[in-house]
Amino acid sequence: MATAEFGKAVRRRRDQISPDAAGLPATGARRAPGLRREELALLAGISADYVTRLEQGRASNPSPQVVEALARALRLSPEERVHLYRLAGLVVPEAGTVPTAIPPAVQRMLDRLIGIPVAVFDASWTLLQANSFCRALLGDPMDWEGNARNRVWRHFVSPGAFGRYAPQDLEALETALVSDLRAAEVRYPADRRLRQLILDLRAQSPRFAALWESGTVTGYDITVKTVDHPTAGEITLDCAVLTVAGCDLRIMIDTAEPGSPDAERLALLAAKGGGMTAEDADLRPSRV
């Protein structure tokens, strides 16, 4: 469990790093030279409220993904990163495990995709971050822990579905998800978290177990999903998955046909909060 020292360490480093050093423009008068909470939230992909609660010691048990995101946003050295993990009460990821770092070049690209829902996953399909538009579309997972942050788990086991698919698209998606986990297990044999996730999925989902035993290997194609939003109504979206070579990330992007009623509903969500800046709305992660 994270102690008060974890929050103090985050606050101390936030006060020390300038916007320019963090890759942000220093605009307007500033009362302090360091990053604002909203700026750290934007860089790390978590809500400004969660940053506040962490710094004040009112939030405990930050996930490894959150700690990694903070370490990246705060530009910590390898030694400082290890120290932050230990303050959070977490084991530092070993070599040969699923990478969770998002390179700065990739992060800059993600920060510019503010007009569409975007979520980022590691090779095990555990959520790393999602932009505010994705959060407006699919909900807020700030309290999710363990397997609940994993897209494969939420699809096959958890009742928190993130969309409806036509039968042919559903079969293709499920086969691709299982194939991806099988490939990740081969690439990262030292990752105990991934190994346990697969064991849990096989035990809890007969459908996953059957696909796993089939040994089918396939890739991703663009699928069509329908989201039942509580205020915007039914929205049908094209869902594309981009794989980032080198860092083994999966970037999920949802778009609607321009000029369609779905695009209009998506634009309505953007106006209500999905396309806001970090100063106007909490950003990432999001339910996916």
* Across 119-129, average pLDDT: 91
CA separation (Å) from 241 to 19, 66, 101?
31, 22, 18
Q: What is the pLDDT of residue 60?
A: 77
Residue 282, pLDDT > 70, answer: no
* Across 261-277, average pLDDT: 73
Residue 92, pLDDT > 90, answer: no
Q: Please, what is the average pLDDT of the chain? A: 83
What sections of the chain are H helices per DSSP? 4-16, 37-44, 48-55, 64-73, 78-87, 104-111, 132-138, 151-156, 167-187, 192-204, 206-214, 261-269
The confidence band for 281, taking pLDDT boundaries of 50, 70 and 90, is very low
Closest CA to 24 of 249, 277, 272, 281: 277
* Across 120-136, average pLDDT: 87
Separation between Cα atoms, residue 156 and residue 186, nearest integer Å: 21
Residue 205, pLDDT > 80, answer: yes
Tokens of 246: 């080198």
Separation between Cα atoms, residue 140 and residue 130, nearest integer Å: 10
206-248 pLDDT, tens digit each: 999 999 999 888 888 888 999 888 888 899 999 999 998 888 9
* Across 63-82, average pLDDT: 86
Q: What is the pLDDT of residue 97?
A: 86
Separation between Cα atoms, residue 119 and residue 257, nearest integer Å: 19
Separation between Cα atoms, residue 50 and residue 62, nearest integer Å: 10
Q: What is the pLDDT of residue 276?
A: 36
21-69 pLDDT, tens digit each: 877 776 666 777 789 998 898 888 788 898 999 999 888 788 887 888 8
| Structure-derived torsion over alpha carbons of residues 10, 14, 17, 18, reported in degrees to the nearest 10 | 160
Q: What is the pLDDT of residue 174?
A: 93
Q: What is the pLDDT of residue 286?
A: 32
Q: What is the pLDDT of residue 141?
A: 61
Q: How many CA atoms lie within 13 A of 251 on its CB side?
A: 17
Tokens of 8: 């103090």
Least confident segment among 3-12, 50-59, 278-287: 278-287
- Residue written as token pair 């009623």: 261
The confidence band for 84, taking pLDDT boundaries of 50, 70 and 90, is very high
239-257 pLDDT, tens digit each: 999 998 888 999 999 999 9
CB 254 within 8 A of CB 98: no
Taking the CB of residue 224, how many other CB atoms lie within 10 A of it? 14
Q: What is the pLDDT of residue 160?
A: 59
* Across 126-145, average pLDDT: 77
More confident residue, 31 or 186: 186
Tokens of 212: 């796993």
CB 272 within 8 A of CB 280: no
Residue 288, pLDDT > 50, answer: no
Helix axes 78-87, 4-16, angle to 10 degrees: 150
The confidence band for 176, taking pLDDT boundaries of 50, 70 and 90, is very high
* Across 187-198, average pLDDT: 91
Separation between Cα atoms, residue 48 and residue 158, nearest integer Å: 27
- The domains of the chain, with CATH numbers, are 4-87 (1.10.260.40), 104-274 (3.30.450.180)
